[in-house]
Structure 1
């Protein structure tokens, strides 16, 4: 590689972001460490001329401390010799803008403390998760003692900066100011996918400027094709060698060194994130239109000119887009307030509860883009479990308290939700959606039994029919954002859209001849759309022994009376009475329960036991498909999770059972995710003058227990 002439010089800030989300599988931590983290840190140690900024998220840093202390020593060595500057951030990598201020400040401070304690360096700057920015964050970040953060150059363009942002800028809120280093988008897209020659030519063209690179270190070996390119083809070692060979004109600087100079200006970035995130946050139909618009602008050569003025949505759009994300967000806010109340009253468990709350605020399970995120059931379960842990640790939680019933109106939707709690479980009931249970929480195992993601249209589903099934070896070297491929064949037949939220005790009034296949395929034709029918609250009652909710749904002469109760004997009851005006008419009435045991296949510890009148053997796999008559009950068992739920049906019912699968996009391409299983208990009979259907489901959770995960 020829040496380019110096004078003037390009100054480069080189920042690497190491992260694994809370709740990710142990094998993924191990694999990422072997293929990416360890070799990258080793190469930094072997190249002392490469000065860099390093951010290791709190979850991953704690894993290093517990599982790979040698990597902690390596990081500390790099700090001690002044080669790297450690960046802090929010401890468990939450979206900072979505947190109550007390939690935002707490997470920022705790991460700074951890870095100082473990690495011997208190950070002056912080990594902002997903670069989700709101103007008030300047005040919060400064209030936590940080001096700078990194944002994308698109944040600066949206602020009115007309040319390529360089150096650093200052922003403020209410007089509290921080510095902003703009991440250069060209560098972010070129590393490690462009040739070294073209990358160096780009940097050479920036002589006289200060550019900042900041992105996921997982690009160095974990993204598709990058293992071959970065390590097999020695791309990263070539880059580090080039930094040394071109040192006359290419100077590596840490962020704090750049801050010694004068700022490039004052900016006020609006609420936004990086462009891909803004597109992903849009509702699916709108996101598809936005994608088409951006494609047309690209064809017209207008992308660069229009980008500062044409943007997608904002991160909170995910809360509107996904009911499951919104539900977890509301739970987080309730738990946060409970933890704060524990602090005020001096609860002995406050510190442990706050730590669990912080884990439950990790960002990845709240959203979905090119990575699995919300679609990954193990992330959702771990995160919700952390929130339940925080709640359970506090002395004023419902653990050990008498059953209670409260009604809360959520400002986000202005729909009532009834929260029913007891020592063993809690239910969130939505009367406006047919009295369905949106969340059934098991307190002892800290487990959300109804954590099942609905099937829905995503904008990228338009690309599924034409996506080839190809291996990593066949892929061109490209960014994970640009990969269009299928991980498995025949995905089109898996594309389905639900008409309603998934949850428990969802009511269906169906024709007498209805069967499982129609409900599973999503092509059933109900007699009445009960999941969309508002049920009236007729009675709420609490006693020392139980909390009772009486609901009444009425549509076109059909009346459904639904009683939901939760008692202190570790049982939940749902009782139905279905009646109608007019002549008798044969119908099928179904109560649907969506559940997860986090596993599709049966194992020694996880299984579904169907109890029938005939005592026939039924496939125990949680993800099995079947239609069974004369069902008296179902046992949901996950011994390793501490889950043991007995569903007892009276009178015996027909059972429709099938897995719920979604098609989503990840770094592997388009893939199928098992989300959970649907159980529909069906009673057939005549409703009308002199007729009706009566049935009940008893949910016994007395054998649930705490289990170490």
Structure 2
């Protein structure tokens, strides 16, 4: 038995970080990697470099490219292609797949004079429709988790040799990627070598491709005092091995291959890309789990994905201005970075919030590029925006977007183009503006102390029916019905939205449809995303309550007889002012994000936004109604 072993890694930088972080990453990871590879001439290596990484290196460390060019010239290094902004390919449209792949191919060919033949798939995220897109781009092979190959059920396909994949008459070769060794430094050179030699002794030749995580680079390539590095000890062990081990690269590997087995690999992703290494019995299931599972697990990520799909449609509809269309399309591509659509352990973190805020910024810049001055006109579009089989109302004005969902009758997206922010995007799963509630009088004491009631309410989970829509005036009128309390008293709520560039006016008419008196608390909830500004400046709240002006940070508090409340977002310098025709009582709750510092058990807390509850005590006789109007003013 002989073993063909390919080693490599993927180099990328996360968007939204400070330049000093990129420099630190370069000095700790990429510089030691390349300098050691340059000296280890006998070690063939494979490298994937994302587009943003290439851009940053070109501006800050062009000497990096000189070393790569020399190693390519001596056939030591192979550079893979793929998506320019490292997207999960199954999540994006076919045109974006081709566009991102061609953009990275062009960049690599420009820098190194050679076109890549292979592609890197983040998390081995796969869909058979990718074959056609890769063939269009001239990609001949790709790396895929070996578990996805060996669980396909086809004869001879065991994850130890290349496999030919076909779709609609087009083919691409999948090379088995062994993700068990992503953290290769955890193994000693001897234990890794023993694991390779025990792979499958009944075969004449096996293929093992290991792409270790970039965080493993220091542990593999840094030598300690008085001893050699991990990789040097491994190369020394190979020379003493009883079984022939040939170090090679994917491109060289395919030049000497006999005809491959054929297989059909359905939608899936690497089971080792999940937060914890799964138990063996789960591997087959996880390998057949679509990467879109990340969307279903988070309402916030699903909303971002819906926005990306919608803006992609808008960009594709641009005609007659190629430069405008190209600019808009590249902004969409920037929003497709794979880690944006993934939550570690399904929990929001400050890092995930930064990525999502940046993605919304890119998408709003793309959307603005599609609006031609003099042609665009304000409108209300009725469409199934978030792909839940229910139509939403998209009010699109010159300066803002307001998207209304009939589930709960709330605004679930508030885009301000002057600062490219969605102020409804918070870390809580079902955030929005003007979320309606009706509680019993028992909730009044809790709300007055700044505590959320734990009882079920009436309207927040109701489906609102359209009563009328005026596209010229940008008005929508909705209505819903519900029952309240142990007596199941029927009541109804009419809700009229009036949209303007300066803000939103919402009129409520609550009616008691029961023969009995209705007593309770009517509440409307507004959730805002607030982000720290420069020098970690905190969001601020100003409340004019009981004829006294009160200023504070975002803390849990309750106020009575509120004339107005003002929220300041220090990141964008936007101010949101809330008023009502009848002074409400107000409860304020901060939205907190918790995170752990690497290597520490202590949690740090960060303000991510604020939940504002406006509430009024309601006493209605049978067939009587009450009217409340709330104004939200935006100043950016």
Q: Distance in 2 between matches of 1:78 and 1:555?
A: 71
Aligned counterpart, 1:85: 78
Counterparts of residues 119-518 of structure 1 (less than 5 Å): 119-160=112-153, 164-188=158-182, 191-205=184-198, 208-221=205-218, 237-243=229-235, 246-247=238-239, 249-262=244-257, 263-277=259-273, 303=281, 307-308=283-284, 313-342=289-318, 344-370=319-345, 376-396=352-372, 401-409=376-384, 412-431=387-406, 433-454=407-428, 501-515=430-444
CA deviation map 1:276-332 (0-9, x unaligned): 45799xxxxxxxxxx9xx75xx6xxxx4xx844775632222222322222111111
Counterparts of residues 593-672 of structure 1 (less than 5 Å): 593-599=526-532, 604=537, 606-621=539-554, 624-661=555-592
Consecutive unaligned residues of structure 2, counting only runs of 5 or more, are 484-489
C-alpha displacement of 1:608: 3.1
Aligned counterpart, 1:686: 619
Seen in structure 2, the aligned counterparts of structure 1 residues 558 and 373 have a Cα distance that, compared at 3 Å, is closer
Seen in structure 2, the aligned counterparts of structure 1 residues 313 and 171 have a Cα distance that, compared at 3 Å, is closer
Aligned counterpart, 1:5: none
SS of match in other structure, 2:175: strand
SS of match in other structure, 1:192: helix
Q: Distance in 2 between matches of 1:451 and 1:16?
A: 34
Aligned counterpart, 2:486: none
Consecutive unaligned residues of structure 1, counting only runs of 5 or more, are 1-7, 281-290, 456-500, 705-709
C-alpha displacement of 1:236: 8.7
Are 1:50 and 2:43 matched, yes or no?
A: yes
Comparing 309-318 and 320-329, the one that deviates more: 309-318
Aligned counterpart, 2:482: 555
Seen in structure 2, the aligned counterparts of structure 1 residues 631 and 46 have a Cα distance that, compared at 3 Å, is farther
Q: Distance in 1 between matches of 2:578 and 2:386?
A: 34
Seen in structure 2, the aligned counterparts of structure 1 residues 186 and 356 have a Cα distance that, compared at 3 Å, is closer
SS of match in other structure, 2:229: helix
Q: Distance in 2 between matches of 1:204 and 1:247?
A: 14
SS of match in other structure, 2:211: strand
CA deviation map 1:178-213 (0-9, x unaligned): 111101244336x12112211122234458433111
Comparing 377-386 and 400-409, the one that deviates more: 400-409
SS of match in other structure, 1:130: helix
The RMSD of aligned alpha carbons is 3.3
SS of match in other structure, 1:165: coil
C-alpha displacement of 1:9: 4.4
CA deviation map 1:511-530 (0-9, x unaligned): 2342585798765214x431
SS of match in other structure, 2:553: coil
Are 1:531 and 2:457 matched, yes or no?
A: no
Seen in structure 2, the aligned counterparts of structure 1 residues 158 and 675 have a Cα distance that, compared at 3 Å, is farther
Q: Distance in 1 between matches of 2:507 and 2:226?
A: 66
Is the 1:13–1:253 contact (alpha carbons within 8 Å) kept by the matching residues of 2? yes
Q: Distance in 2 between matches of 1:273 and 1:235?
A: 39
Are 1:578 and 2:492 matched, yes or no?
A: no
Q: Distance in 2 between matches of 1:339 and 1:503?
A: 26
Is the 1:657–1:680 contact (alpha carbons within 8 Å) kept by the matching residues of 2? yes
C-alpha displacement of 1:79: 3.0
C-alpha displacement of 1:535: 1.2
Comparing 27-36 and 56-65, the one that deviates more: 27-36
C-alpha displacement of 1:35: 2.5
Is the 1:347–1:395 contact (alpha carbons within 8 Å) kept by the matching residues of 2? no
Q: Distance in 2 between matches of 1:439 and 1:381?
A: 13
Aligned counterpart, 1:483: none
User: Taking structure 2 as the reference length, what is the TM-score of the superposition?
Assistant: 0.87
Q: Distance in 1 between matches of 2:386 and 2:130?
A: 23
C-alpha displacement of 1:653: 2.0
Q: Distance in 1 between matches of 2:450 and 2:112?
A: 53
Q: Distance in 1 between matches of 2:32 and 2:394?
A: 50
C-alpha displacement of 1:593: 1.2
SS of match in other structure, 2:552: coil
Is the 2:582–2:628 contact (alpha carbons within 8 Å) kept by the matching residues of 1? yes
SS of match in other structure, 1:252: strand
Instruction: Give the paired residue count.
Output: 616
Seen in structure 2, the aligned counterparts of structure 1 residues 112 and 16 have a Cα distance that, compared at 3 Å, is same
C-alpha displacement of 1:574: 1.6
Q: Distance in 2 between matches of 1:94 and 1:235?
A: 40
SS of match in other structure, 2:14: coil
Is the 1:683–1:695 contact (alpha carbons within 8 Å) kept by the matching residues of 2? no
C-alpha displacement of 1:371: 8.5
C-alpha displacement of 1:509: 0.7
Q: Distance in 1 between matches of 2:226 and 2:13?
A: 25
Aligned counterpart, 1:491: none
Q: Distance in 2 between matches of 1:93 and 1:348?
A: 23
Q: Distance in 1 between matches of 2:102 and 2:23?
A: 28
Is the 1:434–1:553 contact (alpha carbons within 8 Å) kept by the matching residues of 2? no
Seen in structure 2, the aligned counterparts of structure 1 residues 172 and 511 have a Cα distance that, compared at 3 Å, is same
Seen in structure 2, the aligned counterparts of structure 1 residues 100 and 163 have a Cα distance that, compared at 3 Å, is closer
Q: Distance in 2 between matches of 1:447 and 1:364?
A: 19
Is the 1:372–1:665 contact (alpha carbons within 8 Å) kept by the matching residues of 2? no
Seen in structure 2, the aligned counterparts of structure 1 residues 152 and 235 have a Cα distance that, compared at 3 Å, is farther
Seen in structure 2, the aligned counterparts of structure 1 residues 277 and 254 have a Cα distance that, compared at 3 Å, is closer
Is the 2:182–2:213 contact (alpha carbons within 8 Å) kept by the matching residues of 1? no
